[in-house]
């Protein structure tokens, strides 16, 4: 160890690894992973989210799973929480939709309206 910068670099690199264990107030991506979700293909969606979050080096984002929300016909469902009360629900999510959700919604703060539950219901998909 020759300098403080060197230490700081190791710290930053390692921080990515353990951020999960610190209390964050950031974004939570919750993927419905009950039997219905898994059957509808939620696993690859979740994996894709983890991949995209890593690719963007997003620190304050947690990807986790949840049980059945009850609207099994709309699975795979993904809910994204930002802060205390803001929540967006995406339905019938496919792995190829994930990159757009992460870039447009999580990074830039604009939910992808055409993937949301409201849009799907209104257009009776």
Q: Would you tell me which residues interact with another protein (CB under 8 A)? A: 1-4, 7, 10-11, 13-18, 20-21, 24, 30-31, 33-35, 38, 46-47, 49-50, 53-54, 62-67
Complex with another protein: residue 3 or 124, whichever CB lies closer = 3
Q: How far is the CB of 64 from another protein (least distance, A)?
A: 6
Q: How far is the CB of 118 from another protein (least distance, A)?
A: 24
Q: How far is the CB of 18 from another protein (least distance, A)?
A: 5
Distance CA 49, CA 93 (A): 11
Distance CA 42, CA 35 (A): 10
Complex with another protein: residue 57 or 123, whichever CB lies closer = 57
DSSP characters over 32-98? E-SHHHHHHTHHHHHHHHHHHHHHTT-SSEEEEEE---S-GGG-S-EEEEETTTEEEEE-S--HHHH
Q: How far is the CB of 103 from another protein (least distance, A)?
A: 17
Instruction: Supply 56's token pair.
Output: 């963007």
């Amino acid at each position: 160890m020759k300098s403080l910068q060197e230490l700081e670099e190791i710290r930053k690199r390692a921080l990515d690894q353990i951020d999960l264990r610190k209390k964050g107030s950031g974004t939570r991506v919750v993927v419905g992973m009950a039997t219905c979700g898994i059957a509808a293909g939620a696993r690859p969606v979740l994996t894709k989210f983890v991949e995209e979050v890593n690719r963007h080096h997003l620190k304050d984002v947690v990807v986790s799973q949840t049980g059945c929300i009850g609207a099994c016909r709309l699975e795979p469902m993904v809910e994204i929480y930002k802060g205390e009360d803001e929540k967006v629900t995406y339905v019938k999510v496919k792995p190829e939709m994930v990159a757009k959700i992460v870039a447009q919604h999580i990074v830039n703060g604009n939910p992808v309206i055409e993937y949301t539950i409201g849009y799907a219901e209104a257009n009776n998909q």
